[in-house]
Amino acid sequence: MTRTKTTRPLKSKIEVPWDTTGGLNAGSPQAMPLDQIVLPPNQPRRYFDAEALKQLTESIKQHGILQPLLVRPLDGEKHELVAGERRYRAAQEIGLKEVPVVIRQLDDNAAFQLALIENLLREDLNPVEETEGILHLLALKLGRSVEDIPPLLRRLQHERKEAALSSNNVIGKPESASDDASSDDVVKDESEKLDDDNNVIGEQESNSEKTSNNVIGKGGDHEQQGSPSVNSDLKVVEAVFEGLGLMTWESFANNRLPLLNLPEDILDALREGSLEYTKAKAIAQITQLNERVEFLEQAIANKWSLSEIRQRISEKKAATSTENTEPKNYKERFTAATTKLRKSRIWSDPKKRKQIEKLLAQLETLTNVE
């Protein structure tokens, strides 16, 4: 699946800092034997779009490798690949003996960060690995484990929402400015400033004097909400997402983190690029594993559209519902009928009461037979 600009979840403004990594950073690209380059043990990217890789291979056949690979020296003659795995794989496919490289002296942390950033710039990066990559980048920047990042982002969201809805939504605001405003008006005004997609404050710092952005992570003379550690974390998070581009950290928390809660079979299809995210969310509604796997395989093989997938799932649910309701439990039906009968007004109707007496006599006869 080739991703276009319309399906690309973020458009990064980050440039890989080739010249800011210290050490052996001077000099021009040089040729290096391909067999001297090894892949890192912890590569942030695991899946590659087969069609895109084929196109890159054909391009390298015609024009060569235009952008050098980034490597770092290991013990001995070997060098570890930091960035450019697609070019590395294409060179192997073609059978190239040498490739252009730039050598950088990098520690493990710097190398992994550069690999993450380089991958996040790629249009064909699948949404799962892109989400996982951002989580790893945040973990490195914050000095925390990857598992700590989702609850941290949710806590920051909670702090921001609480601050936005509390005490006129501003800390240290002069009383004269709010004497004439009722609390209902304040909540109404602030609710209109909430980001529609994320339900959190989406204003930039330039508007912070008019909104509540001075309650979290904003400097100044006013008292800040939350602990200093929370505020420092927020600054790091905002800096990372500002560098990445169009996606805000609030949007990432609301729209991307739930992606990782999808069933593993759905995540694998997303990682492989054989399924779009919207289709994956729809298919994930099928709870039975064997049914979902079969449906997933059919959807990919037949290239069903999102509307076709939704229609088929709806039909499947309707059929299942019919199957479940047809063989009703007779004891439950009898209990429900007698409950209604006790509350009914038909006892005052002589004709209907006679019908009930006949039915009751038939029931008594049935039980006597047993």
pLDDT tens per residue across all 370 residues of the chain: 444 433 343 334 444 444 433 434 444 789 999 999 999 887 766 677 777 788 889 999 998 998 899 999 988 789 999 988 889 999 999 999 999 999 998 888 888 888 888 777 665 677 888 888 889 889 988 999 999 999 999 999 998 888 888 755 554 444 444 444 444 443 334 333 334 433 333 333 344 334 434 434 444 444 444 455 668 899 999 998 888 776 899 999 998 898 889 999 999 888 887 888 889 989 999 988 999 999 999 999 999 999 999 999 998 888 766 555 545 566 777 777 778 777 777 778 888 888 888 888 888 788 776 5
For residue 93, count other CB atoms closer than 10 A to its CB.
14
Q: Which residue has the tokens 């009928």?
A: 337
CA-CA distance, 127 to 204, in Å (whole number)?
Answer: 26
Closest alpha carbon to 18 in 137, 138, 140, 114: 114
Q: Note the pLDDT of residue 370.
A: 52
Strand runs (DSSP E) across the chain, as ranges? Answer: 30-33, 37-38, 69-73, 79-83, 98-103
Which amino acid is located at 309 in the chain? I
Q: Note the pLDDT of residue 44.
A: 65
Q: Note the pLDDT of residue 85.
A: 87
CA-CA distance, 238 to 198, in Å (whole number)?
Answer: 15
Q: Supply the pTM of this predicted model.
A: 0.57
Q: Are 214 and 220 in contact (CB under 8 A)?
A: yes
Q: Are 106 and 20 in contact (CB under 8 A)?
A: no
Torsions phi, psi of 10, nearest 5?
-150, 150
Largest CA distance in the chain: 106
Count how many residues are written for the chain.
Answer: 370
Q: Note the pLDDT of residue 162.
A: 85
Q: Which residue has the tokens 């299809």?
A: 269
Torsions phi, psi of 201, nearest 5?
-65, 125
CA-CA distance, 236 to 242, in Å (whole number)?
Answer: 10
Q: Note the pLDDT of residue 36.
A: 92
Q: Note the pLDDT of residue 367.
A: 79
